[in-house]
């Protein structure tokens, strides 16, 4: 089989790892890459290319960074690459039918959930926030409808012990495996894509910054799950003495008390009551300060049992 002329669409580091897999694979000839435009980044907000664009340029692969792929001139430019296949991983835009029609073989997408659960922009975060026990990665044929195409293959793993950062890395590893094994099996006709069960669909909308605020009236386990899911951003926070306080690491414990109240304090932690149970807080980040242990925080910020957080 001759090398398959392939276009890759992606933006963040998650997508960069998948692009590297295609570059390394002798079955694919990556003739072009499409990524999001350069964005301001870092403390000095310098205009910075996406990880995917940087990798493509380091390999001499042509890169396009259009504001939208719906533009007719952009579609014409993509057509000049004469690609048979497109692979999409965390690109960041809805792709129109006119784009999908450019590729004689198909357009496939690596998605960070076990479809049809968690279609949408934030599947990793939503799975953790919901307390899912199992998650995974799906390889699907792309349709015009969001994340609704038939599934070529999937890889599962247990979410227990993971937060959004470690789950992200695990999914990156499994997604690369799907491209290296299942995609080629499908191209060769050894795998059949399976339609999704529409009765099982759930959605994973984009995470809003406001979702990071801790509501202490929720159960300790619900707050813990949300904290784990939001570690990719924006993180979880509360307020103490009128100032924002990010919460980084906690443990669920048995406790009773008014939600948000400090009910126990030791040198290395404080326990905050919730709507059901308590959270032992171990790592925090005061406003405009780096992350630190509670023991370090206590040296300059005394905490009293009975004070209420979140007010």
Tell me what pLDDT residue 283 has.
98
| Closest to 216 measured CA to CA, from 85, 98, 308 | 308
Domain extents for the chain? 4-200, 209-298
Q: What Cα–Cα distance (Å) separates residue 126 from each residue in 87, 120, 122, 207, 301?
A: 24, 10, 6, 9, 34
Q: Helix, strand, coil: what percent of the chain each, to 5? A: 30, 30, 40
In the predicted model, is pLDDT for residue 164 greater than 80? yes
Tell me what pLDDT residue 41 has.
85
Mean pLDDT to the nearest integer, 204-229: 98
**Which fold would CATH assign to domain 4-200?**
Rossmann fold (3.40.50)
Tell me what pLDDT residue 92 has.
87
pTM of the model: 0.94
51 phi, psi to nearest 5 deg: -55, -40
Question: Please, what is the average pLDDT of the chain?
Answer: 97
CATH, range 209-298: 3.10.25.10
Give per-residue pLDDT as tens, 279-294: 999 999 999 999 999 9
Q: Which pLDDT band, with edges at 50, 70 and 90, does 45 fall under?
A: confident
In the predicted model, is pLDDT for residue 311 greater than 80? no
CB 49 within 8 A of CB 64: no
Rounded-to-integer distance, Cα 309 and Cα 114, Å: 37
Rounded-to-integer distance, Cα 283 and Cα 268, Å: 9
CA angle 248, 283, 297 (to 5 degrees): 130
Mean pLDDT to the nearest integer, 37-45: 86
């Amino acid at each position: 089989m001759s090398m398959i002329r392939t276009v890759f669409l992606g933006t963040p580091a998650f997508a960069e790892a998948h692009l590297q897999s295609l570059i390394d694979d002798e079955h694919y000839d990556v003739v072009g890459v499409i990524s999001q435009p350069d964005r301001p980044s870092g403390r000095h907000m310098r205009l910075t290319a996406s990880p995917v664009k940087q990798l493509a340029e380091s390999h001499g692969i042509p890169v396009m960074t259009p504001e939208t792929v719906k533009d007719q001139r952009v579609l014409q430019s993509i057509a000049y690459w004469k690609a048979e296949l497109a692979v999409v991983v965390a690109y960041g835009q809805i792709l129109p039918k006119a784009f999908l029609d450019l590729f004689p073989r198909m357009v496939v997408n690596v998605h960070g959930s076990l479809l049809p659960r968690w279609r949408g922009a934030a599947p990793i975060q939503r799975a953790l926030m919901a307390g899912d026990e199992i998650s995974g990665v799906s390889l699907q044929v792309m349709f015009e409808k969001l994340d609704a195409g038939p599934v070529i293959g999937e890889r599962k793993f247990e979410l227990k012990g993971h937060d959004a950062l470690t789950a992200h890395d695990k999914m990156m590893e499994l997604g690369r495996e799907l491209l290296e094994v299942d995609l080629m099996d499908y191209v060769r006709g050894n795998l059949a894509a399976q339609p999704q069960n529409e009765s099982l669909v759930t959605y994973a909308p984009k995470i809003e910054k406001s979702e990071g605020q801790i509501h202490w009236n929720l159960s300790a386990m619900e707050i813990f799950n949300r904290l784990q899911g939001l570690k990719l951003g924006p993180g979880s926070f509360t307020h103490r003495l009128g100032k924002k306080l990010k919460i980084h690491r906690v443990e669920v414990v048995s406790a009773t008390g008014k939600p948000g109240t400090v009910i126990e304090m030791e040198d290395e932690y404080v326990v905050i009551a919730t709507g059901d149970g308590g959270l032992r807080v171990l790592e925090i980040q005061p406003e405009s300060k780096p992350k630190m242990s509670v023991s370090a925080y206590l040296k300059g910020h005394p905490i009293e049992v009975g004070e209420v957080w979140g007010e």
